[in-house]
Homo-oligomer: A and B are copies of this chain.
Amino acid sequence: MSNLKILVVEDEEAIREMLVMVLEQANLTVIAVGSAEQARESLADNMVDLIILDWMLPGISGVELARRLKNEPGYKELPIILLTARGEEEDKIRGLEIGADDYVTKPFSPKELIARIKAVMRRSGKLSESGQLSVGDLTLDAEQHKLTIAGRSLEVSPTEFRLMQFFMTNPDKVYSRTHLLDQVWGRSVYIEERTVDVHIRRLRKILAEYGREELIQTVRGFGYRFSMAN
């Protein structure tokens, strides 16, 4: 779950520190602020992947901030987890109505919080498939950001790494160039379809050094497939 940035909005310092520690422990990048106003500033400067928002805040309350964000086009998709005092059942309902993606009650268990973050991230498709992916003797470790074949590490560029990550997460299926562009490059960029060929070529070249170029197969008329089976 690396490389995700979380914005924590909590006015009480002890709890804020607690949150920061728990989140950093879980390998997340954290920005912590104490009010809705500061949260706004942070959002303007930083792209964050999720907000953890205290229900009660001085000035503009957490619920209010959540409600507003969920009505703004730019932040509609930004997952929000609300932090509420224990047992306020109506709060939970109201929070979810407003559009919060989940909520956690104080005091919170670190495990639970992390689990909920993961769940929300997974739902919004932001979870970058943590841990180790293995296909045959190929291993991709997201944490180390390292790709190895039979223990020897491969030198791949960032884009190649992401492409490989995608392939290893979805093996044995054909993907069109368009689909690959969407998934690996991101929906918002327009790039020539042919560019995919070039990156496939680069990956194959690297794999070929270990006699594994057949891992990435061409499916004429459709696209490419990553598979152990020939």
Contact = CB atoms under 8 A, between A and B. Distances in A.
Contacts of A222: 3, 145, 158
Interface string A15-26: 101101110110
Given A3-B176, A30-B182, A179-B29, A110 B21 contact: yes
Indicate the member of A12, A13, A146 with the most B CB atoms within 10 Å.
Answer: A146
Contacts of A110: 17-18, 21
Copies of this chain, tallied across the complex: 2
Interface in A171-220: 172-174, 176, 178-179, 182-183, 187, 219-220
Interface of A: 2-3, 12-15, 17-18, 20-22, 24-25, 27, 29-30, 32, 106-112, 143-146, 153, 157-158, 172-174, 176, 178-179, 182-183, 187, 219-222, 225, 227, 229-230
A159 B87 CA distance: 45
Given A18-B110, A109-B14, A172-B144, A158 B29 contact: no
Contacts of A106: 107
A143 B226 CA distance: 12
B21 A25 contact: yes
Contacts of A153: 229-230
Contacts of A174: 2, 143-145
Nearest to A5: B178
